[in-house]
A and B are shown apart, each in its own frame.
Chain A
Amino acid sequence: MQLDFSSKETWLHRINPSLKLFVLIMLCIIVLLVHNLLFMMNFTVIVLILFLCFTGQPTKRILLLFIPFFVVFLSTSSSLIFFGQGNTTWFKWGLIHITEESFFRGLLVGFRALLFAILGLTFALTTRPVYLFYSLMQQVKLNPKYAYSFMAALRLIPIMLEEFQTIQNAMRVRGVVRQTGIRSVFLKMKAYSIPMLSGSIRRAHRIAVAMEAKRFSDTRNRTYYYEIGFSKYDIVFILYFVTLLLAGYYGAIKGV
Chain B
Amino acid sequence: MERIAHVEKLRLKFPGDTSLLFKDLSSTFYKGEKVLLLGPSGCGKSTLLQVLSGLIPHSIEVPMKAEELVSPTSWGYVFQDPDSQFCMPFVDEEIAFVLENINVPKQQMIDRIHHHLQQVGLHLPDIHTSIQTLSGGMKQRLAIASILALKPDVLFLDEPTAMLDPKGTKEIWNVLKEVGQEKTVIIVEHKIDHVLEFIERIILFNEAGQIIADGPKEKILSTYKNEMREQGIWFPGVWEEYLDTTPLLRSRKPFEKKEKVLEVQNFKGFRQKEEKILVDDLQAYSGEWIVIKGENGAGKSTLLHAFMQFIKTTGHCELVGIAIKKVKKQTDFMTFVFQNPEFQFVANSVYEEIAYSLKVDKVDSREIEIKVEELLEWFQLVDHWDKHPYQLSMGQKRRLSVAASIVKEQKLILLDEPTFGQDSKNTFALLEWIEELRLKGTTIIMITHDEQIINNFATRIWTIEAGKVISDEIQSMNMKTELVSV
Contacts and interface: CB of A to CB of B under 8 A. Distances in A.
Contact of A195 (B88, B92, B98, B343): B343
A198 interface: yes
B130 to A, nearest CB: 8
A138 to B, nearest CB: 12
B361 A223 contact: no
Nearest to B342: A195
A155 B90 CA distance: 10
B468 to A, nearest CB: 23
Contacts, number: 139
A95 interface: no
Interface in B32-58: 53, 55, 58
A167 B53 CA distance: 36
A223 B96 CA distance: 10
Contact of A215 (B89, B102, B305, B336): B102
Given A148-B87, A195-B345, A210-B79, A166 B59 contact: no
- For the side of the interface on B, what is the size category? 35 or more
A215 B81 CA distance: 19
B55 A225 contact: no
Given A130-B93, A155-B87, A170-B338, A208 B59 contact: yes
Contact of B96 (A198, A212, A225): A225
Nearest to B305: A169
A173 B331 contact: yes
B61 to A, nearest CB: 11
Nearest to A184: B360
A221 B103 contact: yes
B404 interface: yes
Interface string A5-47: 0000000000000000000000000000000000000000000
Given A130-B89, A174-B357, A225-B106, A213 B53 contact: yes
A215 B98 contact: yes
Contacts of B140: none
B150 interface: yes
Contacts of A170: 336, 338, 343-344
Contacts of B390: 198
Contact of A175 (B60, B103, B343, B361): B361
Contacts of A65: none
Contact of B360 (A155, A163, A175, A213): A175
Interface string A160-185: 00010011011111111011000000
A87 interface: no
B89 A155 contact: yes
Interface string B405-421: 10000000000000000
A240 to B, nearest CB: 30
Nearest to B77: A213
Given A222-B103, A223-B106, A173 B405 contact: yes
Contacts of B58: 212
B100 A222 contact: yes
B99 A223 contact: yes
A167 B343 contact: yes
A206 B81 contact: yes
Interface in B341-398: 342-346, 356-357, 360-361, 390
B343 A216 contact: no
A53 interface: no
Contacts of A195: 342-343, 345
A187 to B, nearest CB: 8
Contacts of B146: 214
A215 B55 CA distance: 11
B132 interface: yes
Nearest to A129: B89
A176 B346 contact: yes
Contacts of A231: none
B86 interface: yes
A167 B310 CA distance: 11
A174 B105 contact: no
Given A155-B86, A206-B79, A212-B55, A224 B100 contact: yes
Contacts of B92: 225
Contact of A225 (B59, B109, B336): B109
B84 interface: yes
B30 to A, nearest CB: 22
A154 interface: yes
B55 A173 contact: no
Contact of A213 (B55, B83, B96): B55
A175 B357 contact: yes
A242 interface: no
A166 B338 contact: yes
Contact of A152 (B87, B335, B404): B87
Contact of B87 (A187, A191, A199, A211): A211
A187 B100 CA distance: 46
Count chain B CB atoms within 10 A of each CB in A174, A191, A215, A222 and give the residue with the most: A174
A243 interface: no
B263 to A, nearest CB: 21
A30 to B, nearest CB: 34
Interface of B: 53, 55, 58-60, 76-77, 79, 81, 83-90, 92-93, 96-106, 109, 131-132, 146-147, 150, 305, 308, 310, 329, 331, 335-336, 338, 340, 342-346, 356-357, 360-361, 390, 404-405
Given A155-B88, A216-B97, 9 more contacts: A174-B331, A175-B331, A175-B357, A176-B346, A206-B79, A206-B84, A213-B55, A213-B79, A225-B96
Instruction: Give the 8 A-B residue pairs with the shortest CB-CB distance, closest first.
Output: A225-B96, A152-B87, A170-B344, A210-B85, A206-B84, A212-B59, A175-B360, A213-B77
